[in-house]
Amino acid sequence: MLTLHRAEFLLPDPAGPTDPAGLTGSTALSFADGAVVVRGELVEAVGPYAELAAAHPSARVRDWGRALLAPGLRNPCGQRLLERDYHPDPREEIGVEPVVDGLVGCADETRYGASARRGLQRMLGYGVTAVAGPFARAAVRTAVARSGLVALPGAGGPLESGAGSLDPVVALDPLAVPMDPLVALDPLAVLPLARAVYGRVAAGGRADFAVFPVAVEEGGVRPVAGGCLATVLGGRLVYRRR
């Protein structure tokens, strides 16, 4: 089945140095009233909505309205979030927010796996489609593999060090992420879109992308941090804001 995802703003490759875009801080190619055609797990076409709708009249349309469709994000703090911080089960009645270092000293692989699955689900709500390791726990590796997110080897160093570090390299690195899990879960809370995205949305590539609410500013628009409207992994709609 063909699915056509439509959004008022389409930015297939935010990190690409191409034409001026009308998106704040970006020089990447963009489309006003753009669309992405997905067949199975792959992107079939990217471009203006009117052209793609005419070329694919039988496609199911998901119209995301006044929003930005862009590649999904990468979360550089996956190892910390999934192997140190604990994501509670609501049935535990200890709240739903991540517990900092809540898995430190734990030897229960089942607990690691369950926490990781909940953490990965929360990442999807921020438009994350790739997560950085490396992951030492087998249960966490399994959870990541089954989630559909791309597992990245991890960059180490400043990505895991925190904004309060005394290391000047860490302090100046724009990738340094505060270790408040609620902040670390959302790459857009600490990175501009061009640095936060993983890959691009292109014909023939895997259909991994996210749809974000936007803020209109002088000279363009920008995605709003704090959660996305929808996340697509391998052509599947795996998250949709209610």
Give the residue extent of every domain in the chain.
2-72+199-240, 74-189
**What pLDDT, in 10s, does the model give residues 40-50?**
999 999 999 99
pLDDT at 106: 92
Q: What pLDDT score was predicted for residue 17?
A: 57
Q: List, edge to edge, every strand of the sheet that includes 128-132.
A: 73-75, 128-132, 150-152
Residue by residue, DSSP assigns the chain as -EEEEEEEEE-S-TT---S--SBTT--S--EEEEEEEEETTEEEEEEEHHHHHHH-TTSEEEE--SEEEEEPEEETTHHHHHHTSB---GGGSS-SS-BTTTTTT---HHHHHHHHHHHHHHHHTTTEEEEE-----HHHHHHHHHHTPEEE----GGGGT-TT-S-HHHHH-TT---S-HHHHT-GGGTS-HHHHB-S---TTSB--EEEEEEEEETTEEEEPSS--SEEEETTEEEEE--
Q: Tell me how far apart the alpha carbons of residues 210 and 142 are, in angstroms, rounded to a whole number.
A: 23
Note the pLDDT of residue 26.
47
Question: Which residue reads 């363009």 in tokens?
Answer: 220
CATH architecture, domain 2-72+199-240:
Roll (2.30)
Nearest C-alpha neighbor of 14 from the set 170, 127, 151, 162: 127
Low-confidence ranges of the chain (pLDDT < 70): 17-28, 155-179, 219
Per-residue pLDDT tens digits for 48-72: 999 999 999 999 999 999 999 999 9
pTM for this one?
0.85
